[in-house]
Chains A and B, each alone.
Chain A
Amino acid sequence: ETGVTQSPTHLIKTRGQQVTLRCSSQSGHNTVSWYQQALGQGPQFIFQYYREEENGRGNFPPRFSGLQFPNYSSELNVNALELDDSALYLCASSVQTGGFTEAFFGQGTRLTVV
């Protein structure tokens, strides 16, 4: 158990719809990162939030957006879903201290777009 929880664990959406995925960070962690893991691939960095501000973004289109709340929980929103968005979405929380700190991953949300 990492203390990072994601919801829902699974969901199915139709192409063109919008989806919101949620992540509750480990207590005391002020940084959340989101990753997309397509089937048979390694996780790909989507973006990171630190103290409610975006703090780095990977090569994902603007229809992927996020929020971080004052309690450091986070949401990942994806608009205009495409079939290729089907993947496991992983959230990782950590503490920004100016150096490296370990990121703890949640169990992921499996999104299927049909």
Chain B
Amino acid sequence: AQSVTQLDSQVPVFEEAPVELRCNYSSSVSVYLFWYVQYPNQGLQLLLKYLSGSTLVKGINGFEAEFNKSQTSFHLRKPSVHISDTAEYFCAVIDTGTASKLTFGTGTRLQVTL
């Protein structure tokens, strides 16, 4: 079984400031890792994913994340945020064996203000 912990339920940040959204996971098996974004009244959009290879992955909208196996973390970062980045962000994992069921964290609300 897998579990995902997003320690920060809300992260307020000023526009053009850097941001890091934290994600830690627990799993007895090998997993793939993901970050999704959800805008109000919409479904989930994939920001980026780690399947294998380089531990630093780049995604859409200028976001990147780093997989740290020893710390079982997959933190999301952006060097300079925009108002339009205001949304809910979800970290998720999937068992590499079955690759069927996504396990999500509880989400982090990123609030960008002027």
Contact = CB atoms under 8 A, between A and B. Distances in A.
Contacts of A90: 43-44
Given A42-B90, A42-B106, A33 B45 contact: no
B107 A42 contact: yes
A56 B43 contact: no
B24 interface: no
Contacts, number: 58
B42 interface: yes
Interface residues of A, number: 26
B51 interface: yes
A66 interface: no
Contact of B99 (A43, A99, A108): A99
* Dominant SS among interface residues on chain A: loop
B100 A56 contact: yes
Contact of A42 (B45, B46, B100, B105): B105
Interface in B91-105: 92, 94, 96, 98-105
Given A100-B32, A100-B51, A100-B94, A45 B43 contact: no
B101 A58 contact: yes
A106 B89 CA distance: 16
